[in-house]
């Protein structure tokens, strides 16, 4: 895959590669794509959570029960 960039964007990418610990512009672009994938995944999870049925409150009893289960004292 080849990507054409205007001079000002190419300069920006070159600066990021030089100062950001990337070996090549391809590594930089791959990192941007991974971050965008992560962002979209997080957005999807947040939207799923926002549209889900509300569960029980995470109150003091919830955390006590959780500590008991994790500590091996519970169910």
| pLDDT, tens only, 28-73 | 999 999 999 999 999 999 999 999 999 888 999 999 999 999 987 6
Angle at 36 between CA 14 and CA 23, to 5 degrees: 30
Dist. CA 10–CA 16, nearest whole Å: 10
Q: Which residue has the tokens 């080849």?
A: 2
| pLDDT, tens only, 52-64 | 999 888 999 999 9
Query: Domain range for residue 13?
Result: 1-51
What total number of domains does the chain contain? 1
The answer to whether position 57 is within a domain reads no
The answer to whether position 58 is within a domain reads no
Cα–Cα separations (whole angstroms), residue 9 to 4, 14, 23: 10, 9, 18
């Amino acid at each position: 895959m080849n990507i054409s960039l205007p001079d000002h964007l190419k300069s920006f990418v070159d600066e990021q590669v030089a100062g950001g610990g990337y070996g090549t512009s391809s590594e930089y672009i791959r990192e941007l794509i991974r971050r965008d994938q992560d962002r979209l995944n997080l957005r999807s999870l947040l939207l799923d959570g926002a549209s889900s049925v509300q569960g029980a409150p995470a109150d003091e009893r919830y955390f006590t029960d959780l500590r008991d289960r994790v500590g091996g004292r519970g169910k």
